[in-house]
Amino acid sequence: MPLACIPNAIPNRPRYIELRQKLRAAITVTQPLENGQSWRLSEEIIKLTESAEWIEMERLCCPFLQFKLETNAEQAHTLTLSGPPGTSEFFANEFR
C-alpha cells in the first residue's frame, strides 16, 4: 500500500486539528521504530479517549498506518504507529 494520505477523508476537520495539536503537545517521549514511531502521551494534556478519537479519524486519511494504543498505571498512555517501508520518514516530515 502506498504512503499517501486521502485528502478530505476526515469529515470533522476542525476537531481533527484540535486533537492533533493536543497529541503533539502531549508527547513526552518519542521512540523511533524501524517502520514507525511510538509516543508516550501525557494524559494531563490528551485523554485516552481523545487519542482513540484521533486514531479513528487518522485511519480514514492514512489507511496504510497500523495503530496500537496501550495504557499503564501512570498518567500516560503509549501510541505506536507503524506501516510499510517509508513510514518512519513519513513521520519525520509530518511531526518535525
Domain boundary assignment for the chain? 13-94
Q: Check if the beta carbon of residue 72 is closer than 8 Å to that of residue 1.
A: no
Tell me the DSSP string of 37-88: EEEEEETTTS-HHHHHHHHHHHHHH-TT-EEEEEE-SSSEEEEEEE-STTHH
Dump pLDDT digits (tens) for 8-66: 999 999 999 999 999 999 999 999 998 999 999 999 999 999 999 999 999 999 999 99
Dump pLDDT digits (tens) for 67-77: 999 998 788 99
DSSP state of 21: H
